[in-house]
A and B are shown apart, each in its own frame.
Chain A
Amino acid sequence: VIILEKFFSLPLEKQHTIIDAALSTFGTNGYKKTSISDIAVAAEISKAMVFHYFGTKKSLYLYLIELCGSTFINAVNEKFDKSVTDFFDRIMLATDIEISMMKKHPAILAFLNSAYNETDFEVRADLRALFTNGEEKNLRKEILDGMDSSKFKDGVDPKLVMKMLTWFGYGYMYMSPEKTETDLDALYNDFKDCIRLLKNNLYKTEYL
């Protein structure tokens, strides 16, 4: 966990301006080509203040990744309906929440999308570790707790199905670099196809 006391002591509104500026600058230009000056200009603060708040470009970048992850998890936690017990309905519910969040905050989408494809040596090892093990750990708990696993055919482990879906999502992100709102809808439809396919084949017939 990255601790940024100086930054957190700022008024929230100012924090948001800086975050948005950093997300869109990194999102548009990628890690290497983004300079602290670019972010400072976009946030309308001095370069020295960016360094003061975040230390280095790398720590700012990794903080943003963490922030995006926790924003997703918080949104899902907040809006998740635990009375839904069907595994695939839960997945779709979480996906809907995530997608509407990305539509509401295009800067997050642009940033994450660029981060999935980031290869710069300074951050790529950290990124790979975060994307492989990170955010979905919490999400997995949310989805699996209190879920009705009896609908699955014998021998099917919902945890593995969940992992497969995450990998499918990442794979998709990786395959299509430039995302606009339309592409997000295409992703959503493909994901729904994937869900339908898995459900039809992994559930006992009486639950179809």
Chain B
Amino acid sequence: LIDTKKVNTLENTYFTDIRLVAKGGCKLISGFMNLETKKRERIINTGLSEFAQKGYRYASTNQITNKAGIAKGMLFHYFGSKKGMYLFLCDYSVNIIVNEYYQKFDMNERDIIRRLLMAAQIKFEILKKHPDMYGFMLKMITEDSLEVIDEISDKSKILSDEGHRKINENMDTSLFKDGINSEVAADIITWTIQGFSNLLLERLKSNPADEVDYQKISTEYDIYIGLLKMAFYKCNHN
């Protein structure tokens, strides 16, 4: 499921970040990183899908070791605990997704709405490419287990803040109709998109990820975008 080449090229950045984030856990995780790639990915993918399906509380390390075909003791040797493995997978996924997002995000596109569309498309592509990882992240964003809540709320915040910052940086206000208060317009655009994503998040939470109709979501999104453009953009940019 995971593109091996991409993981390898990202490994260096990702590895330094892990050191910063998982204080004290470096030795254990470096043992895991020294495994042969195939085995490592098998463990990662099994973990991602188990946590994505069951959430932190109900995920079973026995299931993970069984499906990945390793001894139970090895998992604890690599990660220390279930929590250790979970937080490792969080960092791993956030890093890959943020990096892919950055690689594909074109800062030359200065139209704020097109940027938002681009962001949605990139997310959709990443979702298609790493379905387990994406399911894992969705679960992670709404995770409410006490044992991990503090650590992951920081990571969720990194994800949303990074996305938000990229969107507003150096946007082109000349696309707006003349005489429009571009700050207010940008605020309305931003909060509409934000509100739409929150609504989506609520919906995703009450539906298992595989029952969500992405086509419908994207159509709904287009309607809002159309409305925003009609309201604020010069006619020739509609």
A interface with B by C-beta (< 8 Å): 119, 121, 124-125, 128-129, 132-133, 153, 155-157, 160-161, 163-164, 166-168, 170-172, 190, 193-194, 197-198, 201-202
Contact = CB atoms under 8 A, between A and B. Distances in A.
B146 interface: yes
B238 to A, nearest CB: 12
Nearest to B199: A132
A171 B190 contact: yes
B121 interface: no
Contact of B224 (A160, A170, A172): A160
Interface stretch (B4-12, B107-115, B126-134, B177-185): B177-185
Nearest to A131: B198
Contact of B188 (A128, A129, A194): A194
B120 interface: no
Count chain B CB atoms within 10 A of each CB in A160, A167, A193 and give the residue with the most: A167
Interface residues of B, number: 29
Contacts, number: 78
B224 A153 contact: no
Given A166-B195, A168-B188, A201-B231, A125 B153 contact: no
Contacts of B17: none
Nearest to A169: B191
Interface of B: 142, 144, 146, 149, 153, 177, 180-181, 184-185, 187-188, 190-192, 194-196, 198-199, 201-202, 223-224, 226-227, 230-232
A128 B194 CA distance: 13
A155 B228 CA distance: 12
A193 B199 CA distance: 25
Contacts of A202: 227, 230-231
Given A119-B153, A156-B227, A167-B191, 10 more contacts: A128-B202, A133-B202, A163-B195, A167-B194, A168-B187, A190-B187, A194-B187, A197-B185, A201-B230, A201-B232
